[in-house]
């Protein structure tokens, strides 16, 4: 039986599972072309059906997470969601009542689901699905953090583990702690939304004139450029704390915002970022240690937006008490559709787990479709017999290439199917990539893809099983002797955020093997195939449109090479 998962909030999307297989998954932004799209993901749902050839009548189970009053209100009044989206992404200027609206939003999102909000959400979702032709189905509205926990636990590969979810807020909670045992999730602790580590970091991001729910990684990266200070001298430490498995704060959400604003006035941006990063690390590490002590479990699976912080994830993995850590690769709310589908699939059909060999879960385009697109654009192109060798040669000669292959990846990271690639060892190439295309802030590094077998020699693995985190979900220290080889993908603190490639992507692996012949190691700079501020490319036409608007000279569309 098929189960369709739907998420209609921040980074909306849909996912389809059957048995222990993830059949298809996509986020709405890739189709609407608005980054981190909000609203009901009609295009994603249709893409799930169209790309799999499954009729609407075959879908008998649908799961849509989150039914709290705030989420229900934005379902009934989509204009509120759209207003916040435009403000958050700096698509409109501030208005006089925005501060009042902000305060109301944070207080309202703290409310737990109730019978009325649950009923109204159900009516709305049934109506939207009816418009798409759904008629005979069972609708489940699972808890927000339970869906995060389902995705973390059931994709981890662990027979038994701790599960921790942390984000801003969802269904009145900012986090949860679970024990996964005998294929069941048992709740150990709920973390109320009033004391939210996710909202704490969201406030920090906003106050630094960045986009909350989007630019938290910039805060983490900027923190590396500050002079370290002791925890006892860090004024942010008193704003939020952990005691055992509980998160506590004497401030309301808006009270914390105002106090952070007051403290920021006294510190440079990089110091403020460092202090915030340290608060997050100290509190989450304390929580993890207490959970291990309580349960005796030394394997951990995590999900939720807080765990997009790769420096935090690295420090968790390095705890003496920790044996294995798995970070669900689509850890933010964009992964909720998949978590919801997995939860209902277990509840209804007793499917306990999934093997995430890769994240190539989106659409793929035939050679005929690609050729048809190519013929509509004014670029010369030709067919290649060995696309990996040709691409590697251009990279080794110092070119930056656009790389479009196979099924589109799910999640926030490019993993070799929708990527921009370059040599990893040339700082000037990295700088050129930033100037002509990505336009990232100067302190935000690019990432490497590394052959699985070369990772232990390039990185300080420290006994970790790198199979647990193959998809750019955690940081690793680089071995100092390879700092020159990795200078285009290394942070100032000597870390990188790697993807590891085995045999799951043969063409991309061949490219890396060709790179290895000259570089000595299989490594390449890999960043997402998009222009700054836009979603990752989905279709051949998206790729060709991007190609036309950039100064890059080479685009690989499957085994076609397009040139300017």
Q: Is 269 helix (H, G, I), strand (E, B) or coil?
A: helix
Q: Which two tokens stand for residue 174?
A: 């900012």
Kindly report the CATH number that applies to the domain delimited by 156-327: 3.30.420.40
Q: Alpha carbon of 340 to those of 3, 27, 333, 355, 376: distances in Å?
A: 9, 14, 11, 17, 40
**Per the structure block, which two tokens stand in for 434?**
């930033």
Instruction: Quote the CA–CA distance of 35 and 62 in Å, as a whole number.
Output: 25
Query: CATH topology for 2-144+337-349?
Result: Nucleotidyltransferase; domain 5 (3.30.420)
pLDDT of residue 272: 98
| Beta-ladder partners of 381 | 562
Average pLDDT over residues 458-475: 94
Q: What is the pLDDT of residues 70-101, one digit of tens each?
A: 999 999 998 888 888 888 887 888 877 778 88
Average pLDDT over residues 227-245: 96
Euclidean distance between CA atoms 424 and 496, whole angstroms: 11
Q: What is the DSSP letter of 549?
A: T
pLDDT value, residue 218:
94
Residue 386, Cβ neighbours under 10 Å: how many? 13
Q: What is the pLDDT of residue 103?
A: 83
pLDDT of residue 440: 78
| Euclidean distance between CA atoms 44 and 52, whole angstroms | 12
Which of 75-84, 270-279, 340-349 shows the lowest per-residue confidence on average (mean pLDDT)? Answer: 75-84
Average pLDDT over residues 524-553: 96
| Mean pLDDT score across all residues of the chain | 95
Could you tell me which of 507, 398, 517, 401 has the C-alpha nearest to residue 454? 517
Residue 532's pLDDT is 86
What mean pLDDT comes out for the span 17-39? 97
The whole-number average pLDDT for the span 480-499 is 96
- Distance (Å, whole) CA 498 – CA 461: 12
CA 415 to chain centre: 12
According to the model, what pLDDT value does residue 557 have? 98
Of residues 462 and 305, more confidence is placed in: 305
What is the number of other CB atoms lying within 10 angstroms of the CB of residue 238?
13
- 34 band by pLDDT with thresholds 50, 70 and 90: very high
In this predicted model, what pLDDT tens digit does every residue of 162-214 receive, in sequence order?
999 999 999 999 999 999 999 999 999 999 999 999 999 999 999 999 999 89
Q: What is the pLDDT of residue 110?
A: 92
Contact between residue 538 and residue 362 where contact means Cβ atoms under 8 Å apart: yes
Q: What is the pLDDT of residues 385-424, one digit of tens each?
A: 999 999 999 999 999 999 999 999 999 999 999 999 999 9
pLDDT at 160 over 80: yes
Q: Give the residues across from 18 on adjacent strands.
A: 2, 21
Q: Give Rg (Cα) of the chain.
A: 23
Q: How many CB atoms lie within 10 A of CB 94?
A: 9
Residue 367 is encoded by which pair of tokens? 């050679």
pLDDT confidence band for 334 (50 / 70 / 90): very high
The answer, yes or no, to whether residue 154 has pLDDT greater than 90, is yes
Instruction: Look at strands 59-63 and 2-7 and give their pairing.
Output: parallel
Distance CA 16, CA 48 (A): 7
Q: Residue 299: enclosing H or E segment and its boundaries?
A: strand 299-303
367-563 matches 2-144+337-349 in CATH topology = no
Q: Is the pTM of this model over 0.85?
A: yes
DSSP annotation string for 86-100: HHHTTSS---TTHHH
Predicted confidence (pLDDT) per residue in 499-534, tens digit: 999 999 999 999 999 999 999 999 999 999 999 889
**For the structural domain made of 367-563, what CATH number should be given?**
3.90.870.20
pLDDT in tens, 290-322: 999 999 999 999 999 999 999 999 999 999 999
Q: Between 108 and 475, name the one with better pLDDT.
A: 475
Report the alpha-carbon distance of residue 17 to residue 53 in Å, rounded. 14
List the chain domain ranges: 2-144+337-349, 156-327, 367-563
Classify 419 as helix, strand or coil.
strand
What letters, b where the CB count within 10 A reaches 16 and e where it falls short, cover 182-211?
eeebeebbbbbbbbbbbbbbbbbbbbbebb
- Which tokens belong to 409? 């990846």
Question: What percentage of the chain has pLDDT greater than the value 70?
Answer: 100
């Amino acid at each position: 039986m098929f189960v369709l998962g739907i998420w209609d909030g921040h980074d909306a999307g849909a996912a389809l599972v059957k048995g222990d297989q993830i059949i298809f998954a996509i986020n709405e932004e890739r189709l609407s072309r608005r980054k981190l799209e909000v609203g009901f993901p009609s295009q994603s749902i249709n893409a799930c059906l169209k790309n799999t050839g499954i009729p609407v009548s075959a879908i008998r189970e649908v799961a849509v997470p989150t039914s709290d009053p705030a989420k229900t209100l934005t379902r009934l009044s989509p204009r509120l969601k759209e207003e916040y989206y435009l403000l958050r992404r700096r698509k409109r200027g501030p208005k006089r009542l925005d501060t009042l609206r902000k305060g109301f939003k944070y207080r309202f999102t703290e409310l737990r689901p109730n019978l009325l909000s649950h009923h109204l959400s159900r009516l709305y979702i049934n109506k939207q699905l009816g418009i798409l032709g759904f008629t005979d189905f069972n609708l489940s509205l699972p808890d927000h953090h339970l869906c995060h926990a389902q995705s973390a636990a059931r994709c981890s590969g662990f027979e038994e583990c701790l599960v921790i979810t942390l984000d801003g807020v969802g269904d009145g909670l900012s986090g949860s702690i679970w024990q996964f045992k005998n294929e069941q999730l048992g709740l150990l602790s709920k973390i109320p939304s009033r004391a939210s580590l996710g909202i704490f970091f969201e406030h920090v991001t906003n106050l630094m004139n960045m986009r909350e729910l989007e630019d938290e990684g910039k805060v983490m990266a900027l923190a590396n450029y500050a002079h370290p200070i002791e925890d006892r001298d860090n004024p942010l430490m008193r704003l939020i704390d952990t005691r055992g498995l509980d998160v506590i704060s004497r401030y309301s959400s808006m009270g914390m915002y105002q106090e952070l604003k007051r403290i920021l006035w006294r510190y440079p941006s990089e110091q403020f970022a460092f202090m915030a990063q340290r608060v997050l690390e100290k509190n989450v590490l304390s929580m993890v240690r207490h959970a291990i002590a309580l349960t005796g479990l030394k394997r951990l699976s995590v999900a939720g937006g807080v765990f997009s912080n790769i420096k935090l994830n690295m420090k968790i993995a390095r705890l003496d008490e920790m044996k294995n850590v798995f970070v669900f690769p689509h850890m933010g709310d964009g992964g909720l559709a998949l978590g919801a589908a997995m939860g209902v699939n277990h509840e209804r059909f007793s499917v306990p787990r999934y093997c995430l060999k890769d994240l190539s879960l989106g659409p793929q385009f035939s050679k005929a479709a690609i050729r048809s697109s190519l013929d509509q654009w004014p670029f010369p192109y030709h067919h290649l017999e060995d696309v990996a060798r040709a691409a590697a040669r251009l990279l080794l000669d110092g070119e930056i290439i656009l790389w479009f292959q196979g099924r589109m990846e799910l999640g926030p990271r490019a993993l070799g199917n929708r990527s921009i690639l370059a040599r990893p060892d040339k700082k000037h190439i990295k700088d050129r990539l930033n100037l002509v295309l990505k336009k990232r802030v100067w302190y935000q590094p690019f990432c490497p893809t590394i052959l699985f077998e070369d990772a232990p020699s390039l990185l300080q693995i420290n006994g970790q099983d790198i199979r647990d985190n193959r998809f750019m979900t955690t940081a690793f220290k680089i071995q100092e002797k390879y700092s020159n080889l990795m200078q285009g993908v290394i942070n100032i603190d000597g870390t990188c955020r790697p993807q590891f490639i085995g045999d799951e992507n043969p063409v991309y692996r061949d490219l890396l093997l060709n790179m290895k012949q000259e570089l000595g190691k299989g490594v390449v700079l890999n960043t997402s195939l998009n222009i700054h501020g836009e979603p990752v490319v989905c279709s051949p036409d998206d790729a060709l449109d991007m190609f036309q608007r950039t100064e890059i000279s080479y685009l690989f569309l499957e085994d076609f090479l397009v040139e300017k």
